Structure 1
Amino acid sequence: MQAPKQIPPETFLIDRDTPLPLQLQLRRQIVLAVHEGRFRPGERMPSSRALSAHLGVGRITVSMAYGELVAADYLVARGRSGYFIADRAHALDETPTLAPMPRFDWTGKLPGRYRATQRKDRPRNWRDYPYPFLYGQIDDRLIDHAAWRECAVRALGRRDLGALADDQYDGDDPELIDFIIRHLLPRRGIRARPEEVLLTMGAQNALWLICQILLNRGEACAIEEPFYPGLHEILSVHDCQVHPVPIDAQGLPCDAIPAQVSVVFTSPSHQCPTNRTMPRARREALLRLAALRGFAVVEDDYEFEISFAGATSPALKAMDRSGAVIYIGSFSKSVFPGLRLGYIVADPAFVAEARALRSMMLRHPPGHVQRTMAYFLSLGHYDRQLNRMRAAYAERRAATAQALVRHGLDLGMEAGSGGSSFWLGTPGGLDSELLAARLRPQGVLIEPGRPFHRQSGAGAASYRLAYSSIGVSEIEEGIRRIAAVSRDCAGAA
């Protein structure tokens, strides 16, 4: 049985400038902490000796306060074990009366622009739904938990104590950087030196760093539409002009990029959210245009690991001879989303600036996480998990595609050759937000299309259907429910 939590003496303070007796102050603090949920049933109070020494009061003062609270059923005394919070203490009516204090007014201090950009269509309790076609989450069965735990324990060993305990200032784990350079980047055709790589807290953090450096002086940028909502959230709070460029069947069309932009954001391997892949000829055209006009290209190499069509096209960064491409990679989809670890590959001058900015904000990603990831890669666990995930996603993608056809939800949209989701249109142009709302009581989660478009009315007839977080055995029934609710909504319209 787990030992009860010990409430530390440092939790308590005494105000010697108030006329309230010390014993009453102590009793009020305990009662208030119980009602606020800070002290919970079964937790052990400090001994009268320890608390009196901390507060600089007599033991009799503490003992009398404890005794009164035992009489009031807030505490229980257990022989030689001490005093504990009573099981029913939180249900008692007595609460201490405190002098009223005017609340600090935050309304005039906070701009509110950051909260205003946040998406509100992603439920935190998605695991409670039996059919979560939700992107960005993962089925726990695909994670090699034992291997990750082994690597975490190894990283805690004495050999790695420096990597774990030291403040590396603006530095990164050299073992992780070395593995990224020698093993991961070559798979994308990228050659890099240590000074060209910067670790980040995932792709979102990488995008924020890039925008903060390149787009805070009124510059213009181009983004694909539909787009990654996380990027649009960042851009909406920066001092820049945003030009959405509608994609076609081959991704971002180069001839539609406005002339005045200084940065172009693209996800050429698996365009977010449509999964369309930019062919090599268009990649070459984009790089020529970047060299001609002098704009930077930010390549989010989104889900390149999850491809079912053999060899993938080389990354833009691998084809870049001028140094204009800033490459973003992430372990969120290939290891697990909560890891929040990624990297930037770019010209040393840009990386040096980004490293200085990162140092101001968070110094560096936690050393223990970095070293654990280095072991996970070097011991072969990463490749084994990736192969398992790739096989599982291929099976789930096939099951999803077949179920969509069987239930009449295949609207002739291109399936692509990888990734962990489909981008679909709703039957009869049905509003996807209405469809999502009607599906939730049925235990089904989908992602409506509006957050992927700049204009409020755009994307209403589209939605994303992901299969990374749902087992293959649940796919058929989940899609059957989507089809049934779609028919009901269309009939009621």
Structure 2
Amino acid sequence: MPNRTPTALWAQQFRRSSASKTSLQDQIRQMLVAAILDGQLPPDAALPSSRELADQLGVARNTVVLAYQMLVDEGYLISRERSGHFVNPQMLEGRPGFAASPAADSGDAPSRPIWRQRIAHPPSAQRNIVKPANWQHYEFPFIYGQFDQSLFPANDWRECCMKALSIMEIRNWAPDLIERDDESLIQQIRTRVLPRRGVFAAAEEIVITNGCQQALYLIADLLCDEDTTVGFENPGYPDARNIFENRNARLLPLPVDSNGIAPDALGESLARCDYVYVTPSHQCPTTATMPVERRRALLDCARQHDFVIVEDDYESENTFSGTPHPALKSLDTADRVIYVGSLSKTFAPGLRLGYVVGPRELVRELRALRRLMVRHPVAYIQRAFATFLALGHHDALLRRLAHAYSERSQALMAALDAHLPEARYVRVTGGASCWVEGPLWLDAARLAVDAQAVGVLIEPGSVFFTNDDDARRYFRMGFSAIPLEKIEPGVRALAQCVRAQQPGG
């Protein structure tokens, strides 16, 4: 008969936390599942009786009984009458460590692949924006692209998720959609989201993606190769740059001023492009907004020189005026613009919902390519977000965010004026970040390290430039994730780090 595991083992394994939002029953289940799947319990091992384990853990016996029963129902445990509960051997079949390895028995060291020789262009070697995974533990997180829990519409989102879990709705999202998207979400984008940007599209001209990132990857994968030239804003969005480079495209840096790229001054360069990637609503990272005159001039250049524009409208909804700028796509009458938008950046970046608007023949191929990668984004999330849009929660959220971000941007600019007068910044009129140019002697990479040591997070700007030697004094400060009252003291602490670098300081 199998020996029972000592109850002292469970006292060590079980770390009961008063701050945990997980029930005691679920904590016990997680502990037992981890012990089984991690190999701490051999097949057919006997578990303590419910009374013994309850006494050892300091919980009610019924809590352990219910946890055991759930694990029996899920197949992890076997209940034997008058004997107790045992680890189900079938749960461990085929797992590493439970069968002899032929290579180990042979006595010869196995020959392993040398992966660095097999990966021709390692993506991990590209320059990327780096943010601490534990950014929420820092007192002054001036980082971009993260959410503020205090602004998250938890009750509204929960309502939409519960509606999507109704019996009638499950029938709509549970099947494999293959190449299709949730029809209700497409309809909401067509009638609620795009018209705010002056864009009108048929359902066949829209495809849903796992965020803007996948949208850009699909476009680059479909349209770019080593013979393709892509005009790219400098400074510009690093992940988009890396995506195009990963497809072996030649990148042509296009300088940016306070109004974005200048088509009239870049005519010769634009003539060499097959595609031009732009962020006209809020240029990344400078936040400059391209005037309508330049947008029309860029479209004229596209027609004249036969190139296509990829418009990344990632932050179009974050405008403090309440009225988003017309998209470049809204001025396009010749199918020269591929429009990329985000549904989740202002809401919850972790949801990963984006979309592409383009000609039918292009969208058809994007759908076919997406099928090879992920088939389609999670249909349940699509249905829940469609409901979120239909009930007006998204519009209400945008109004709240505009008010909160406007307050924070004003506080940030006032703090910079007061504590860092030697720095220059682009005045914030929308979005969720501020682009700062420090004094000539400033090393922003060193500043980021020094500031992090005192609880301040900023983003060095060099990663946004094609040649980072030209950009060592620039940095970006996001304000979507930092409370209003933390902004002024955070800038004050940052200013002390800047002064520490000052020559003769």
Deviates more, 1:278-287 or 1:250-259: 250-259
Partner of 1:240: 249
Whole-Å separation in 2 of the counterparts to 1:126 and 1:149 = 25
Distance 1:8 1:434 in 2: 42
Q: Is the 8 A contact 1:9 1:51 kept in 2?
A: no
The one of 345, 353, 357 aligned to 1:333: 345
Task: In structure 1, list runs of 5 or more residues that go unmatched.
Answer: 14-24, 31-40, 54-58, 60-78, 85-95
Q: CA deviation at 1:260?
A: 1.6
2:178 aligned to which of 159, 169, 185: 169
2:123 matched to which residue of 1? 114
Contact 1:277 1:416 (C-alpha < 8 Å) held by counterparts: no
Instruction: Give the 3 Å change call, closer, same or farther, for CA 130–12 of structure 1 in structure 2.
Output: closer
Deviation at 1:428, TM superposition (A): 3.7
Over aligned residue pairs, what C-alpha RMSD do you find?
Answer: 3.2
Q: Residue 133 in 1 paired to residue 148 in 2?
A: no
Structure 2 spans left out of the alignment, 5+ residues: 1-23, 46-56, 58-63, 88-98
* CA separation of 1:192 and 1:410: change in aligned 2, threshold 3 A: farther
The 1:174–1:445 alpha-carbon spacing in structure 2 relative to 1, beyond 3 Å, is same
Q: Partner of 2:50 in structure 1?
A: none
Higher alpha-carbon deviation: 364-373 or 156-165: 156-165
Structure 1 counterpart of 2:320: 308
* Equivalent residue for 1:2, pick from 13, 25, 44: 25
Distance 2:38 2:413 in 1: 61
1:7–1:133 Cα change, 3 Å: closer
Structure 1 residue 354 displacement after superposition: 0.7
Q: Distance in 2 between matches of 1:155 and 1:52?
A: 32
Partner-residue secondary structure (3-state), 1:427: coil
2:233 to 224, 231, 252: 224
1:278-325 per-position Cα deviation (integer Å, ceiling 9, x unaligned): 001110000011011110001111311111235343111100000110
User: Counterparts of 1:309 and 1:124 in 2: how far apart (Å)?
Assistant: 33
Amino acid at match of 2:391: L
User: Which residue of the partner structure matches residue 191 of structure 1?
Assistant: 200
Give the C-alpha shift of residue 333 in structure 1: 2.1
Say whether the 8 Å CA contact 1:7–1:44 is kept in structure 2: no
The equivalent of 2:479 in structure 1 is: 467
Number of paired residues? 438
Q: 1:130 to 1:416 in 2, by over 3 A?
A: closer
Change (3 A) 1:2 1:279: same
CA gap of 1:308–1:52, structure 2 versus 1, over 3 A, is: closer
Deviation at 1:122, TM superposition (A): 1.4
Q: 2:306 is matched with which residue?
A: 294
Deviation (angstroms), 1:217: 4.4
Separation in 2 of the partners of 1:379 and 1:52?
44
Residue among 208, 216, 223 paired with 1:214: 223
* Pairwise CA distance, 1:81: 4.7
* CA deviation profile, 1:7-57 (whole Å, cap 9, x unmatched): 4999699xxxxxxxxxxx995998xxxxxxxxxx9997999xx9999xxxx
State the SS of the aligned residue for 1:333.
coil
| Aligned-partner Cα distance in 1 for 2:401–2:440 | 34
Contact 1:409 1:427 in 2 (8 A): no
Query: What does 1:238-387 align with in structure 2 at a 5 Å threshold?
Result: 238-254=247-263, 255-256=265-266, 257-387=269-399
- Whichever residue aligns with residue 172 of structure 1, its letter is D
Contact 1:271 1:302 (8 Å CA) reproduced: no
Distance 1:427 1:367, change over 3 A: same
The aligned amino acid for 2:25 is Q
Q: Which residue of 2 aligns with 1:90?
A: none
Distance 1:251 1:11, change over 3 A: closer
Code of the residue aligned with 1:299 in structure 2: it is E
Amino acid corresponding to residue 147 of structure 2 in structure 1: I
Q: Any conservation in 2 of the 1:399–1:472 contact (CA below 8 Å)? A: yes
Match of 2:91 in 1: none
Assess, with a 3 A threshold, how the Cα gap between structure 1 residues 310 and 375 changes in structure 2: closer, same or farther: closer
From 155, 168, 172, the counterpart of 1:159: 168
Q: Given that residues 272 and 302 in structure 1 are in contact (C-alpha distance below 8 angstroms), is that contact kept between their aligned partners in structure 2?
A: no
- CA drift of 1:407 comes to 0.5
1:105 pairs with one of 104, 108, 113 = 113
Partner amino acid for 2:165?
Answer: L
For each residue in 1:193-241, what CA deviation from the matched residue of structure 2 results, as whole angstroms up to 9, or x when unmatched? 0011010100011110111111124210101110001101112211211
Change (3 A) 1:166 1:482: same
> Scaled by the length of structure 2, what TM-score is found?
0.80
Given the superposition, is the C-alpha separation of residues 398 and 12 from structure 1 closer, same or farther in structure 2, using an over 3 Å criterion? Answer: closer
Shift of 1:469: 0.7
Q: What percent identity do the matched residue pairs reach?
A: 37
Q: Secondary structure at the match of 2:477?
A: strand
Counterpart check, 1:202 vs 2:211 = yes
Q: Counterpart in 2 of 1:74?
A: none
SS of the residue 1:111 aligns to: coil
- State the alpha-carbon separation in 2 of the partners of residues 423 and 414 from structure 1: 6
Contact 2:229–2:252 at 8 Å: present in 1 too? Answer: yes
> Which residue of 2 is the match for residue 91 of structure 1?
none
Aligned to 1:181: 190
Query: What is the TM-score normalised by the length of structure 1?
Result: 0.82
CA distance in 1, matches of 2:229, 2:364: 23
Distance 2:421 2:44 in 1: 61
